């Protein structure tokens, strides 16, 4: 009897995770190769591929993908990003986590306030020669508890090669 209960619990967990992954994969471009998106991004207004994830509080949780020409190092790019955070956020900002993987990838999670709203973002920079892909998930900080993991999974699912 205990074995049947254990099997049932495992099956329920697998079904729940499968459903969660299926919901993620329904988002546009989930798991896409970044290079395959180049032409699509170039056609987009502002050269930003915008993926709307969830609505709430008048602000949409979203993921956007941009391509930048950046001949410098990832460290230089991260320093430039910090300067941009200073300009973007009104009341300061805070890095929750940051990780740089050599000259291949960097991850950064930030919270900050702009126009009276607190935002939470998770960014991944992927360097390919002088090209840098920036994938950023953003939501209101109050939304992050419900959509944050989904946003992170989607950002991390983009394939560098």
| pLDDT tens series, the chain, 161 aa | 443 333 332 333 333 333 333 344 566 788 889 988 888 888 887 888 888 886 555 668 999 999 999 999 999 999 999 888 888 898 789 999 999 988 899 999 999 999 999 999 999 999 999 999 999 999 999 999 999 999 999 999 999 87
- 94, part of any domain: yes
Q: Looking at residue 56, what is its pLDDT?
A: 56
- Total structural domains within the chain: 1
Q: Looking at residue 53, what is its pLDDT?
A: 80
Strand pairing report for 48-54 and 61-69:
antiparallel
- 26, part of any domain: no
Unique residue bearing structure tokens 């109050």: 142
- 98, part of any domain: yes
| Contact predicate 105/160, CB 8 Å | yes
Domain range holding 96? 31-157
Q: Looking at residue 55, what is its pLDDT?
A: 57
The CATH number that applies at residue 121 is: 3.40.1000.10
CA atoms of 59 and 139, how far apart (whole Å):
7
- 116, part of any domain: yes
Distance of CA 120 to the CA centre of its chain: 11
Distance between first and last Cα of the chain: 48
Q: Looking at residue 114, what is its pLDDT?
A: 92
Cβ neighbors of 130 (< 8 A, separation 6 or more) are: 69, 70, 71
pTM score, whole prediction: 0.78
Q: Looking at residue 51, what is its pLDDT?
A: 86
- 81, part of any domain: yes
- 11, part of any domain: no
| Contact predicate 120/111, CB 8 Å | yes
Q: Looking at residue 58, what is its pLDDT?
A: 61
- 18, part of any domain: no
| Contact predicate 57/119, CB 8 Å | no
- 107, part of any domain: yes
Q: Looking at residue 13, what is its pLDDT?
A: 32
CA atoms of 86 and 113, how far apart (whole Å):
11
- 70-95-29 Cα angle (round to 5): 55
């Amino acid at each position: 009897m205990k074995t049947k209960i254990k099997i049932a619990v495992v099956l329920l967990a697998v079904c729940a995770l499968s459903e969660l992954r299926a919901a993620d994969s329904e988002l546009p471009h989930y798991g896409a190769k970044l290079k395959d998106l180049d032409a699509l991004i170039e056609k987009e207004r502002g050269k930003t591929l915008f993926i709307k994830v969830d609505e709430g509080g008048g602000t949409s949780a979203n993921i956007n993908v941009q391509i930048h020409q950046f001949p410098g190092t990832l460290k230089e790019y991260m320093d430039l990003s910090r300067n941009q955070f200073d300009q973007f956020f009104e009341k300061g900002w805070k890095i929750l986590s940051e990780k740089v993987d050599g000259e291949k990838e960097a991850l950064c999670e930030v919270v900050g306030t702009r126009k009276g709203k607190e935002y939470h973002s998770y960014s991944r920079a992927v360097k390919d020669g002088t090209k840098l892909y920036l994938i950023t998930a953003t939501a209101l900080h109050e939304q992050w508890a419900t959509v944050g993991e989904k946003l992170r999974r989607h950002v991390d699912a983009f394939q560098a090669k």
